[in-house]
Amino acid sequence: MPYLVDGNNLIGVSPNLTIGSQESRDFIIRKLLRFHRLTKKRIVLVFDGAPEPYPARMELSPKNFMVLFPKYGESADDVIKRCMGPGMVVVTSDRELIEEAKKRHIKWMRSRDFLRMVSSVKEGKNEKPDWNPTPQEIDAWLKIFGEK
Average pLDDT over residues 134-145: 68
Instruction: Identify the band that residue 55 occupies on the pLDDT scale cut at 50, 70 and 90.
Output: very low
pTM listed for this prediction: 0.77
Query: What CATH code is carried by the domain that includes residue 135?
Result: 3.40.50
- Range of 59's domain? 3-145
Average pLDDT over residues 65-85: 91
Give the tens place of pLDDT for each residue, 12-45.
999 899 998 889 998 999 999 999 989 889 999 9
Asked if residue 144 has pLDDT above 90, the reply is no
Dist CA 128 CA 77 (whole Å) = 35
Domains identified in the chain, total number: 1
Put the strands of the sheet holding 3-6 in their side by side order. 65-68, 43-46, 3-6, 89-91, 107-109
Instruction: Identify the band that residue 137 occupies on the pLDDT scale cut at 50, 70 and 90.
Output: low
41 and 125 in contact (C-beta within 8 Å)? no
Dist CA 55 CA 5 (whole Å) = 22
Average pLDDT over residues 108-115: 96
Q: How many CA within 13 A on the CB side of residue 143? A: 6
64 and 85 in contact (C-beta within 8 Å)? no
